[in-house]
Chains A and B, each alone.
Chain A
Amino acid sequence: MKEDSEYELRTLQLEFFGRILAGFTHDLKNHLAIIKESNGLITDMIDMGRITDEALALKLQKITTSIQRRVVQATDMANNLNGFAHRQDTPFSTFQVNDLLAEELTFLRRFSRLREIDLKIELREGLPAIHNNPSMVQYVVFKLYTMALKRVKNRSLLEIISGEQNGGVQITFGLSGEKEDFAKLIDDETMGMIQEALDTLQGRVAELSQAGDAKQVISLIVPSLATKP
Chain B
Amino acid sequence: MSEIKVLIVDDEVEFAATLAERLELRDIAAETVNNGKDALSTILVRTPDVVILDLKMPDLSGLEVLNGIKSHDPSIEVIMLTGHGSTSSGIEGMERGAFDYIMKPIDLDLLLEKINQAYEQRTLRKQP
Interface residues of A (CB under 8 A from B): 22, 25-26, 29-30, 32-34, 36-38, 40-41, 44, 48, 71, 75, 78-79, 82-83, 85-86
Interface set, chain B 5-39, CB cutoff 8 A to A: 12, 14-15, 18-19, 21-22, 25
Whether a CB of chain A sits under 8 angstroms from the CB of B56 is: yes
A34-B15, A41-B25 known, 13 other contacts, Cβ within 8 Å: A22-B85, A25-B85, A26-B56, A30-B12, A33-B105, A33-B106, A34-B18, A37-B22, A37-B108, A41-B21, A41-B22, A44-B25, A82-B84
Q: How far is the CB of B102 from chain A (nearest CB, A)?
A: 11
Whether a CB of chain A sits under 8 angstroms from the CB of B68 is: no
The answer for the CA separation of A25 and B14 in the assembled complex, in Å, is: 19
Specify which chain B residues have a CB less than 8 angstroms from the CB of A32 in the assembled complex.
105
Which 7 pairs between the two chains have the least Cβ-Cβ distance? A33-B105, A37-B18, A79-B84, A36-B105, A33-B104, A82-B85, A34-B15
B25/A48 in contact, CB under 8 A = yes
Q: List 14 A-B contacts (CB under 8 A).
A: A22-B85, A25-B85, A29-B84, A29-B105, A32-B105, A33-B15, A34-B14, A37-B18, A37-B19, A40-B18, A40-B108, A41-B22, A44-B22, A82-B85
| Nearest opposing residue in chain A for B83, CB measure | A26
Specify which chain B residues have a CB less than 8 angstroms from the CB of A48 in the assembled complex.
25
B84/A83 in contact, CB under 8 A = yes
Specify which chain B residues have a CB less than 8 angstroms from the CB of A82 in the assembled complex.
83-85
Specify which chain B residues have a CB less than 8 angstroms from the CB of A36 in the assembled complex.
105-106
Size of chain B's interface in residues, with CB distance under 8 A?
Answer: 16
The answer for the CA separation of A122 and B12 in the assembled complex, in Å, is: 39
Q: Give the tally of cross-chain contacts (CB within 8 A).
A: 54
| Nearest opposing residue in chain A for B107, CB measure | A36
A37/B15 in contact, CB under 8 A = yes
Q: How far is the CB of A49 from chain B (nearest CB, A)?
A: 11
A34/B22 in contact, CB under 8 A = no
The answer for the CA separation of A75 and B19 in the assembled complex, in Å, is: 18
The answer for the CA separation of A40 and B15 in the assembled complex, in Å, is: 11
Q: How far is the CB of A36 from chain B (nearest CB, A)?
A: 4
